[in-house]
């Protein structure tokens, strides 16, 4: 796969200097740059992603930041600033009229790692952080097609692509994008059901319904898991957190708990076996290709390749029909990635992509 490393030499020169302190000026920085970072403040852990586009040492970009358990959802901030041998960013009030302040200052070392501090008074965040660059790669579009429905989730079952739709039906397509059939699943008498996350274990599909458990200690956002196929639901069991993505690794299942920002491993009875933190601050949906997990960034509309320890190892651009579109689902078919986005009122576009 071809990785865009054009900026590595430029920033390493900035970190080390030019070798001639008296005559050589700092060269301008240009191009796009991406980092994944983390911080800990007291008992709170956080993650961030930073994407910037630079020209003549000035930049604009987007930063996504989340804290667990303080923030119930990630925050998406438009930023601007300067970069030479250090990086300074603040909120870009030309794009959004922010009513608060956010600043980030960091040094850039020879490996392009960032280390510095965050000041976010409105959220009570005054902390140090570290971040490392992540390769940005691209994808080739094999095919695409549009549907007059909202795609909630999807999965490849070995021969067909299942699409879970907002119109309470599952649609199945072959790998050429040709419609095969429609499947209706009932979770209660006369009540149709589709799922906001899907996986396939070689025999059955697994989906969920959000549930809330009320107990002496308060409420817990949980998930009712449904094992099903085209003949209907075969079994139900519970998962003690709200999932936004499901995957199967060949032996056990994995759930993406976005509120805790964790990948949670569980068995066919719903018993939790393990969990790992995930680098991505705003993960949405989950897939496993036999070696890596895949998820996507809700705000920046990027695909992330994640290793079994939760570390993001690469980021991929995806096609965007128009600015402001919303990503809805991903699925893995061998080396191909299926991806969907909303392109209008209850309209979705499906892409079959090959990472470079």
Does pLDDT of 104 surpass 90? yes
Strand 283-288 and strand 75-83: pairing? unpaired
pLDDT in tens, 293-324: 999 999 988 999 999 999 999 999 998 877 66
Final residue of a structural domain among 63, 98, 133: 133
**pLDDT at residue 81 tops 90:** yes
- Rounded average pLDDT over 95-122: 94
Cβ neighbour number for residue 322 with a 10 Å cutoff = 8
Of the chain, the end-to-end C-alpha distance in Å amounts to 4
Average pLDDT of 41-51? 89
The Cα 140–Cα 121 span in angstroms is 42
Percent helix / strand / coil, the chain, rounded to 5: 5, 60, 40
pLDDT above 50 (res 9): no
Domain containing residue 61: CATH number = 2.40.128.120
DSSP 49-99: EEEEEEETTEEEEEEEEEEETT-SS-EEEEEEEEESSEEEEEE-TTTS--S
In this structure, the answer to whether residues 216 and 93 fall within a common structural domain is no
Residues 76 and 145 grouped into a single domain: no
Supply the pTM of this predicted model.
0.88
The 8-class DSSP code of residue 148 comes to: S
The per-residue pLDDT of the chain, averaged, comes to 89
Tell whether 32 is covered by a domain: yes
Q: 316 and 207: one domain?
A: yes
Last residue of a domain, one of 133, 168, 185: 133
Range of the domain at 76: 6-133
Residue 354: HSE in the Cβ half-sphere, 13 Å Cα cutoff:
8
| Residue 301: inside a domain | yes
Residues 116 and 23 in one domain: yes
Count how many domains the chain has. 2
Both 241 and 307 in one domain: the answer is yes
- In a domain, residue 271? The reply is yes
Q: Is the pLDDT of residue 180 over 50?
A: yes
Report CA Rg, the chain. 22
Report how far residue 106's alpha carbon sits from residue 97's, in angstroms, rounded to the nearest whole number: 25
Same domain, yes or no: 118 and 52: yes
Q: Which of 19-28, 54-63, 201-210, 320-329 has the lowest mean pLDDT?
A: 19-28
Last residue of some domain: 133, 167, 190?
A: 133
For residues 215 and 76, membership in a common domain is answered with: no
| Residue 1 located in a structural domain | no
pLDDT at 202 over 90: yes
Q: Locate tokens 């196929």: which residue?
A: 229
pLDDT at 213: 82
In angstroms, the CA 258 to CA 210 distance is 14
* Whole-number percent of the chain with pLDDT over 70: 90
Nearest-5° Cα angle at 259, 323 to 298 = 10
Using alpha carbons, select from 80, 82, 74 the residue that is nearest to residue 26: 82
Q: Which two tokens stand for residue 151?
A: 């795609």
334 and 199 belong to one structural domain: yes
């Amino acid at each position: 796969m071809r990785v865009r490393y054009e900026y590595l030499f430029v920033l390493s020169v900035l970190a080390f200097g030019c070798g001639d302190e008296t005559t050589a000026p700092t060269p301008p920085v240009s191009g796009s740059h991406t980092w994944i970072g983390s911080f800990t403040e007291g008992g709170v852990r956080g993650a961030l992603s930073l994407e910037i586009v630079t020209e003549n040492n000035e930049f604009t970009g987007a930063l996504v930041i989340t804290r667990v358990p303080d923030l119930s959802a990630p925050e998406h901030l438009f930023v601007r600033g300067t970069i030479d041998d250090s990086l300074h960013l603040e909120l870009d009030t030309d794009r959004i009229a922010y009513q608060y302040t956010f600043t980030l200052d960091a040094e850039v070392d020879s490996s392009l790692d960032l280390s510095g501090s965050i000041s976010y008074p409105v959220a009570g965040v005054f902390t140090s952080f570290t971040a490392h660059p992540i390769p940005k790669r691209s994808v080739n579009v094999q095919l695409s097609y549009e549907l007059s429905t909202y795609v909630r989730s999807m999965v490849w079952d070995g021969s067909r692509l299942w699409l879970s739709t907002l119109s309470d039906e599952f649609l199945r397509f072959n790998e050429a994008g040709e419609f095969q059939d429609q499947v209706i699943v009932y979770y209660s008498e006369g009540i149709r059901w589709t799922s906001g996350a899907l996986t396939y274990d070689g025999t059955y599909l697994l989906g969920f319904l959000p549930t809330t458990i009320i107990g002496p200690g308060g409420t817990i956002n949980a998930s009712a898991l449904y094992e099903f196929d085209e003949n209907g639901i075969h079994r139900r069991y519970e998962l003690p957190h709200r999932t936004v993505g499901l995957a199967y690794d060949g032996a056990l299942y994995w759930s993406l708990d976005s509120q805790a920002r964790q990948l949670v491993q569980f068995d066919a009875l719903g018993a939790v076996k393990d969990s790992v933190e995930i680098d991505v601050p705003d993960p949405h949906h989950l897939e496993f290709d036999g070696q890596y997990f895949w998820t996507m960034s809700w705000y920046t509309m990027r695909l992330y390749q994640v290793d079994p320890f939760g570390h993001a190892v690469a980021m991929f651009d995806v096609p965007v029909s128009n600015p402001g579109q919303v990503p809805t689902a991903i699925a893995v078919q061998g080396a191909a990635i299926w991806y969907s986005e909303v392109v209008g009122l209850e309209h979705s576009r499906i892409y079959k992509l090959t990472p470079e």
